[in-house]
Structures are given as C-alpha cells and as structure tokens.
Amino acid sequence: MTAKRDLLLEVKDLKTHFHLHEGMVKAVDGVSFELERHTTMAIVGESGCGKSVTARSILQILDRGGRIVNGEILYYRAPAAENGTPPPAVDLAKLHPDSPEIRAIRGAEIAMIFQEPMTAFSPVHTIGFQMAEVITLHQKVAKTEARARALAMLRRVGVPRPEQSLDSYVHQLSGGMRQRAMIAMALSCRPSLLIADEPTTAIDVTTQAQILELMRELQQEYGMSIMLITHDLGVVAEMAESVMVMYLGQVVEQAPVDDIFHDPKHPYTQSLLRSIPKLGAQGGRKLETIKGAIPGPYARPSGCLFHPRCPAFMPGQCDQIQPPLIQLDDGRKVSCLLYAEPAR
Amino acid sequence: MTMPEAGPLLQVTDLVKHYPIRKGLLRKEVARVRAVDGVSFHVNPGETLGLVGESGCGKTTTGRCVLRAVDPTSGRVLYRRADGEQVDLATLEGAALRHLRREIQMVFQDPYSSLNPRMNLLDIVGEYLVVNHMAHGAKLKDRVAELLTQVGLRPEYMTRYPHAFSGGERQRIGIARALSLNPRFIVADEAVSALDVSVQAQILNLLQELQGKLGLTFLFIAHDLSVVEHISNRVAVMYVGKIVEMAATQRLFSLPRHPYTEALLSAVPKPDPRLKRQRIILSGEVADASRVPSGCYFHPRCQYAVDRCRTEAPVLREISPDHLVSCHRAEELVLAGIPVEGDPNSMLPAAPPPRKDQASA
C-alpha cells in the first residue's frame, strides 16, 4: 500500500451474513477494499455476488436477518494530516443500525441512490416535502430555506419546471425525472460519498446517457466519491476509475479500469468480458460462455468459489485451497491460485 | 416493398394498434395511445429480424399483434403457412387461428413468472402436446425428454419443478416448451434481458444453434443493441409506434441513416474505457404515445431538425436497396455508426451473413 493516499473509506475483511429459515447465506464473505476521495469505484458482478449487500452494509441498511458479523468499515471524515498522523476514523461496522451516529452519517455524509426511484420515494408525500425533510433532518435550517434549497437542487439536476415538480408526487414524474429527483435528494446535503446501486438499470439508453453525464458533472462540481454498483460493463468502462469484481460474496479482482478491460487477470473477469456481445464485433459468431450457472447460496463450492466453472481449473488445488487476495507487483489484486507464489 | 415469388414468411403491412383512453361516467374516449402506428415489415424464412427501441416504442405490442395475443386495430399480418398458402393473422378467427398457433410460438422475458410453479417439467413442456392431442403417455415422455435434451437440459429433470432451476435453465425450459409443437416462427420478446451476462451468452448461442438445426425464423424483440446486433440478420428500429429505420444488421450499425438510430448507438455505453468518444446526448424524453408531436415524432429531440420536420411526417422509404429510413434529410445527413471491428470493408453494404452453417458449427 502506498502512503499519501487520500482514503475516504477502508473496508477490511467485511463479512455480512443473513440468517434465514432455510439456512445461513454468506452474502458478503471477507471483502476488503479502499476508496479514495473524489474518485469513482465500480463494483461489478452478476446477481447474488454481494455487491448490493456490500453497499448496504456501509450504510447499515441491511434487510431483515442480515448482520455484519466481522470486519471494519473505516470512514475518514477528513483527509490525512500533513505530518502523516492517521486521520480520525469512524468504524461504521461497529455502529448500531439505529444509533444516532450512523443516522447522522446516513443520507448526509454518505448518500445512496437506488435502481427503482418509485420505491425509494414515498408515494403519499410530495417530492419537495421529502427533500425538505432530508435537509431539515441534517442541517439547522428553517422550512422555507429547506424548500428553497430543494428547489435549487432540482433545478441543478435538470428537472424541467422545478417549482411544479416540487409539489408533485413521484408517480407524476417520468422514469428519467424520478431518477434525477432522487439524485437531487441524495446530493442535497452534499455527501462525500454517493453510493449508486444500479442507478440506470431500469431506464432506457438515451436517458441513461443523460443520467450518467449528470452524475459525472455533479461529481466534478461537488468533489464527492462515487461507489457505482452495476452489472453493466459498458457503464463501468464509461464511469469508473477503479473496479472491483465480485463473485459469490468475495472479491476476485481489483484493478484500475483500463487494466480490468485490457488485461484482466482472473479467469472469471476474463470470461465475463468475453461473454458480452460487443457492438461492432460482427454478429453471427458464437459467443464464448462460462459453463454452468452461478451456484445457489446454500451450495457454495469448496476451495475457490469459481472452480466448477473455471476454464483454468487446476484439480487438486483450486477445489481445495481457498485463494487469498494476492497483490501483484503493479498493485493490482487478484484472488486466484494461478498468481500464487510457486510454493506449493 | 417487393414480394418475390418464394416470398417472406411474414409480411406485416400498415399494422396499427391504438388503445383508447376513456374517462368520465360514459367512458368517453378522450385520447388514444398510438402504441403501434402504421408498421410495415417482412421476415424471410430462416432469418432473424431484430426489433429494437426504447420502452414504450411499441415493439412488444407489435410482437403481440403478430401472435394475435392482442387484436390489431387495423392492418394486415400475412403469414405463409407450411403449405405455401398465405393467411392474414390479423383477421383469422376460430379453429383456423387455433390451428396456426402451433406454428407460431413465443419465448418470454421473465423465466420466473412464465413457468407455473406447481407444474413439473413434464407438465410444462408437454402441456401443448397434451392439449393439442398430439402425444400422451410414454410417447409424451419421450418427446419431452427429446425437447429437454435439445435445449441442453438432462431428461431426468422431467419430474422436477421450476424452483429447482436457475434463471438460465428456466429460460431453456421456456424454449423447450416453445419448440414442443415444431413451430416455424418464434417471437422472442426480451428473451435474454433478465439473465446475467454469463448465462445470456449461453442462451443466445442456444437460440442460434436451434435456428440452424430446425430452420426457425425469429422475430427478436429487445432493447439491448449489442444483443440484437449479435443475433439478427436485419434490424428494425422503432420510435413511438413507428419504424424509423430498417436495414441489414451490419449496415444499420455501421452506416445508420436516421438520427435516432445514430443517437441510440451513441448512447450505448461501450465496454472499453479507452473509447472516450463524443457522445450524442439526446435532450428530453421519448414522446408520449398519447400526445404525439406534429410532423416527425422525433423532431423535438433531433439535432438535425429543420422546419419541414416540424410540419410534415416523413414516410418510411427505401434510400438504397433494402435500407429503409423515415427521415426527410436521410440523403444529405452524414451520420456516425459503430465501426466494425477488424473489418476494413465495414463501410460496404453488407451481404446477408451465412448463418446456418455457423450456427450449427
């Protein structure tokens, strides 16, 4: 790890498990990563890989039965001091989900936007009421001032006729406008981290282009970090600076975005990139596939979780040894025995 | 459009489906949603026609009209039966329609809601055979086993229920069911949209393989342009109930002639961080199909719009062989497409790709 990195968030060996009637689901099973200030990191993976649960663990908004059982989520409010003394950190993993400490952070310093704005807003309150509620909850301002700020925010994110939208209900807005309103609400307290969970998955491509452009602009303007959770590798390539690939609750690879797309190390990342049809790549050819399917949550394979589907499977090793997250010479991290020291 | 002797399998002409919006005590019609507003296209035997567009553009309604799952308001849907006779699916009734339903099948988007959780695979895949009195008993089991093998599932799974299968496997079950009556034509409505990418590739390959083996014809409806490019021979782009452009796949993607196609191609995020191109970001949103703009429906968002576009609606016309565009300025505009990877001839008109041998290879 290089010094002088301005970290905003440091997650160490996070484990979030769900205790359900059917058994225990290891949704997140030992995830570690760092997020620098003012940067965008993408978490990619297929359904059930734990990308959303990782994000929800940070904010302590897990669904019923879910609990952080291990690990630290260190949140650094201020940048490191010049003399090298580590900045004060808050361990979000230790906070109770209902504690005043996390409630002061949630929605103010760390905000989140969701895939489906229709369910993120209350259907029986106006957009303006809900936005003003967030503002007055975290900042000492009068109601009229909160309303004025909400209006300014709506105008900033490009909602047409913002005065009118302030008094509308969420069902009266179109999909793209709802997403804009949700971004406006999330950014109304100027968070230092915006967690975006599949922010454009439910909307059309031309609207998606608008929303992604808006998020980039606002990041420039407000200097926040973005944690982008998505399964769309195209969105990752356009938005992120660094990428973390997850599979079944574990990190398989972490690297700068260019390396992920042009020099992927883990066989899962490689297969994933090869299996997407690319525009301009002339149809008709057979797509490369990853054999089999993602295992269910109660049938986790032994050893490396990807070994039953892996094209580089080494019998006797991959099915027995759980690969550690190996740091390569260039600082990238990959969890695969192919890159382990030859000490066998 | 020309109709050669052998003729297309499906010939849709001026298909219209309007939904009335009714209000008040007397349920008076106050407006109409122009879901499909005069759509014409044809599908040749053995080919895949991709139908793309954003939500609300009418692509699903078009597919449902072809299947006669909804009754079109007007227009003709001529289908060439196996015996060569043409019938109009838009007006066919009763036994004749029921008989034809065997030949035209559908694969749905959601592999979770399209399978009855209380039926096992034998019942699900064999249901069409039973209701059509085509097989029962041991013969039914043999046929279902054969169908399951064909889509890459083990015949032993016959006694299991849908909950035991993953999304990709469920989609295979849906495909096996669609194949059970030996259809000739399949409407696949967002058939891979709900699947994870690693599984999506498997299903796309399966569909292509089956097409080569069984000589199927597909109408492939999807919003994902890269998937459509991969699987289609020809592509039709829809916008607010109308087809705005239709051409051979490679031609449409490399040399789009309609500004909407250009913007759509430009808006798709490309999975390569080194491609930092200038994107066309359309302003505004897709027009409301119940309150359509005057003239060309796309003009409020079009960066090339001129006065004529605001007043006069363009018609779909052939600007070069088999390339149809509905834009007043199609000839003069120079639009950007997607360069074809590693092909210096990508700017030349595309020949129909030899699909069958590739798919079965």
Beta-carbon neighbour count of residue B153 at 10 Å? 21
pLDDT digits (tens, 9 = 90+) for A51-78: 999 999 999 999 989 999 999 999 998 8
Average pLDDT for residues A263-269, to the nearest whole number?
95
pLDDT of residue A228: 96
The answer to whether the beta carbons of residues B205 and A256 sit under 8 Å apart is no
pLDDT of residue B347: 41
Q: How many CA within 13 A on the CB side of residue B277?
A: 18
pLDDT digits (tens, 9 = 90+) for B143-200: 999 999 999 999 988 999 999 888 889 999 999 999 999 999 999 999 998 888 888 8
Task: Identify the DSSP state of A284.
Answer: T
Q: Per-residue DSSP letters for A213-259?
A: HHHHHHHHHH--EEEEEES-HHHHHHH-SEEEEEETTEEEEEEEHHH
Instruction: Answer whether residue B275 shows pLDDT above 90.
Output: no
Helix (H), strand (E) at residue B105: strand B104-107
pLDDT of residue A298: 85
Average pLDDT, chain B: 88
Q: Which of A175, A232, A277 is the closest to B229 by Cβ?
A: A277
**Could you tell me the strand order of the sheet in which B28-43 lies?**
B28-43, B10-23, B74-80, B86-88
What residues of chain B, 303 to 332, have a C-beta less than 8 Å from chain A?
none
Rounded Cα gap, residues B11 and B304, in angstroms: 32
Contact A46 B198 (CB under 8 A): yes
Beta-carbon neighbour count of residue A56 at 10 Å? 21
pLDDT of residue B276: 67
What residues of chain A, 181 to 220, have a C-beta less than 8 Å from chain B?
204-210, 212-213
CA distances from B180 to B125, B126, B203 (A): 7, 7, 17
Instruction: Answer whether residue A195 shows pLDDT above 70.
Output: yes
Report the candidate in A56, A92, A94, A54 with the shortest Cα–Cα distance to residue A73: A92
The answer to whether the beta carbons of residues A170 and A123 sit under 8 Å apart is yes
Query: What total of structural domains would you count in chain A?
Result: 1
pLDDT digits (tens, 9 = 90+) for B98-151: 888 889 999 988 888 899 999 999 999 999 999 988 888 999 999 999 999 999
Residue A102, helix vs strand vs coil: helix
What residues of chain B, 46 to 65, have a C-beta less than 8 Å from chain A?
54-55
Instruction: Answer whether residue A134 shows pLDDT above 60.
Output: yes
Helices (H) and strands (E) in chain B, counts: 11, 12
Rounded Cα gap, residues A61 and B115, in angstroms: 33
Instruction: Answer whether residue A193 shows pLDDT above 90.
Output: yes
Nearest CA in chain B to A243: B273
pLDDT digits (tens, 9 = 90+) for A18-39: 998 888 999 999 999 999 999 9
Give the CATH superfamily of B7-44+54-103+234-268+279-340.
P-loop containing nucleotide triphosphate hydrolases (3.40.50.300)
Contact B265 A204 (CB under 8 A): no
| Angle (deg, nearest 10), helices A127-138 and A175-187 | 20
Query: In this structure, which amino acid lies at residue A198?
Result: E
The answer as to whether A194 is a domain residue is yes
- Chain A residue numbers with beta carbons less than 8 Å from the beta carbon of B343 are 282
pLDDT digits (tens, 9 = 90+) for B295-326: 999 999 999 999 999 999 999 999 999 999 99
The answer as to whether A252 is a domain residue is yes
Average pLDDT for residues A320-341, to the nearest whole number?
91
What residues of chain B, 261 to 290, have a C-beta less than 8 Å from chain A?
263-275, 279, 281-282, 285-286
Residue B75, helix vs strand vs coil: strand
Q: Which of A208, A258, A296 is the closest to B267 by Cβ?
A: A208
CA distances from A18 to A52, A55, A66, A84, B256 (A): 13, 15, 4, 39, 50
pLDDT of residue A169: 94
Tokens (6 digits) for B179: 């194949």
Cβ-count burial of B156 within 10 angstroms (0-12 exposed, 13-18 middle, 19+ buried)? exposed
Rounded Cα gap, residues A75 and A81, in angstroms: 15
A144 shares contact with chain B (CB less than 8 Å): no
pLDDT of residue B342: 54
Q: Per-residue DSSP letters for B141-194?
A: HHHHHHHHHHTT--GGGGG--GGGS-HHHHHHHHHHHHHTT--SEEEEESTTTT
Instruction: Answer whether residue B75 shows pLDDT above 50.
Output: yes
Q: Which of B201, B253, B271 is the closest to A289 by Cβ?
A: B201
User: CA angle B68-B71-B77, nearest 5°?
Assistant: 60
The answer to whether the beta carbons of residues B332 and B304 sit under 8 Å apart is no
Q: Are strands A193-197 and A110-113 parallel, antiparallel or unpaired?
A: parallel
- Chain A residue numbers with beta carbons less than 8 Å from the beta carbon of B281 are 206, 209-210, 213
Q: Which of A238, A272, A281 is the closest to B269 by Cβ?
A: A238
pLDDT of residue A282: 61
What residues of chain A, 224 to 253, have a C-beta less than 8 Å from chain B?
231-238, 240
Rounded Cα gap, residues A67 and A296, in angstroms: 20
Place of tokens 């809601």: B113
Whether the complex's predicted ipTM is more than 0.90 is answered with no
Q: Is pLDDT larger for residue B50 or for residue B271?
A: B50
Cβ-count burial of B267 within 10 angstroms (0-12 exposed, 13-18 middle, 19+ buried)? buried
A176 shares contact with chain B (CB less than 8 Å): yes
Q: Which of A204, A234, A293 is the closest to B166 by Cβ?
A: A293
Q: Per-residue DSSP letters for A155-223?
A: HHTT-SSHHHHHTS-GGGS-HHHHHHHHHHHHHTT--SEEEEESTTTTS-HHHHHHHHHHHHHHHHHH-
Instruction: Answer whether residue A1 shows pLDDT above 80.
Output: no
Least confident of A86-90, A256-260, B173-177, B351-355: B351-355
Q: How far is A50 from chain B (nearest CA, A)?
A: 14
The answer as to whether A118 is a domain residue is yes
The answer as to whether A148 is a domain residue is yes
For residue B128, what are the β-bridge partners?
A: none
Nearest CA in chain B to A294: B166
| Angle (deg, nearest 10), helices B259-267 and A205-222 | 50
Q: How far is A174 from chain B (nearest CA, A)?
A: 9
pLDDT of residue B149: 93
Q: Are strands B242-248 and A40-44 parallel, antiparallel or unpaired?
A: unpaired
pLDDT of residue B341: 64
Place of tokens 């904010």: A59
* Percent of chain A residues topping a pLDDT of 90: 71
What CATH number does the domain containing A162 carry? 3.40.50.300
Contact B229 A283 (CB under 8 A): yes
Q: How far is B194 from chain A (nearest CA, A)?
A: 10
Torsion of CA B195, B245, B277, A205, to 10 degrees: -40
Instruction: Answer whether residue B219 shows pLDDT above 50.
Output: yes
Place of tokens 């930092």: B276
The residues, ordered by sequence, that sit 6+ positions from B188 with a Cβ below 8 Å of its Cβ are: B106, B107, B207, B218, B219, B220, B221, B222
Q: What own/partner pairs with CB < 8 Å and gap ≥ 24 does A272-275 have?
A: A272/A44, A272/A46, A272/A233, A272/A245, A272/B197, A272/B198, A273/A233, A273/B271, A275/B197, A275/B198, A275/B200, A275/B201
Report the candidate in B333, B357, B337 with the shortest Cα–Cα distance to residue B349: B337
Rounded Cα gap, residues B237 and A326, in angstroms: 47
Rounded Cα gap, residues B336 and A133, in angstroms: 46
Helix (H), strand (E) at residue B34: strand B28-43
Residue A106, helix vs strand vs coil: strand
Instruction: Answer whether residue B355 shows pLDDT above 60.
Output: no
Average pLDDT for residues B68-93, to the nearest whole number?
92
> Which of the four pLDDT bands, split at 50, 70 and 90, describes residue A2?
very low
| DSSP H stretches of helix in chain B | 59-67, 94-101, 121-131, 137-150, 167-179, 197-214, 225-231, 249-254, 259-267, 307-311, 355-360
Average pLDDT for residues B222-239, to the nearest whole number?
93
pLDDT of residue B352: 40
pLDDT of residue B82: 86
A284 shares contact with chain B (CB less than 8 Å): yes
Report the candidate in B14, B4, B7 with the shortest Cα–Cα distance to residue B316: B14
Domain range summary for chain B, segments of one domain joined by +: 7-44+54-103+234-268+279-340
Please, what is the end-to-end C-alpha distance for chain A in angstroms? 26
Q: Are strands B242-248 and B28-43 parallel, antiparallel or unpaired?
A: unpaired
Tokens (6 digits) for A52: 């959303």
Domain assignment of residue A118, given as a range: 39-49+99-276+291-339
Contact B343 A282 (CB under 8 A): yes
pLDDT of residue B354: 42
Nearest CA in chain B to A238: B273
- Chain B residue numbers with beta carbons less than 8 Å from the beta carbon of A228 are none
Q: Is pLDDT larger for residue A262 or for residue B291?
A: A262
Least confident of A264-278, B65-79, B94-108, B329-343: B329-343
Rounded Cα gap, residues B46 and B10, in angstroms: 11
The answer as to whether A84 is a domain residue is no
The residues, ordered by sequence, that sit 6+ positions from B345 with a Cβ below 8 Å of its Cβ are: none
Residue A35, helix vs strand vs coil: strand
pLDDT of residue B353: 42
pLDDT of residue A276: 87
Q: How far is B330 from chain A (nearest CA, A)?
A: 21
Q: Is pLDDT larger for residue B275 or for residue B59?
A: B59
Average pLDDT for residues A108-118, to the nearest whole number?
90
Q: How far is A209 from chain B (nearest CA, A)?
A: 6
Contact B268 A281 (CB under 8 A): no
pLDDT of residue A284: 57
Contact A258 B274 (CB under 8 A): yes
Q: Is pLDDT larger for residue A111 or for residue B290?
A: A111
Cβ-count burial of B133 within 10 angstroms (0-12 exposed, 13-18 middle, 19+ buried)? exposed
The answer to whether the beta carbons of residues A40 and A240 sit under 8 Å apart is yes
Contact B250 A282 (CB under 8 A): yes
* Percent of chain A residues topping a pLDDT of 70: 96
The residues, ordered by sequence, that sit 6+ positions from B246 with a Cβ below 8 Å of its Cβ are: B41, B234, B235, B236, B237, B252, B316, B323, B324
Contact A262 B274 (CB under 8 A): yes
Rounded Cα gap, residues B183 and B104, in angstroms: 6
What residues of chain A, 12 to 51, have a C-beta less than 8 Å from chain B?
46-47
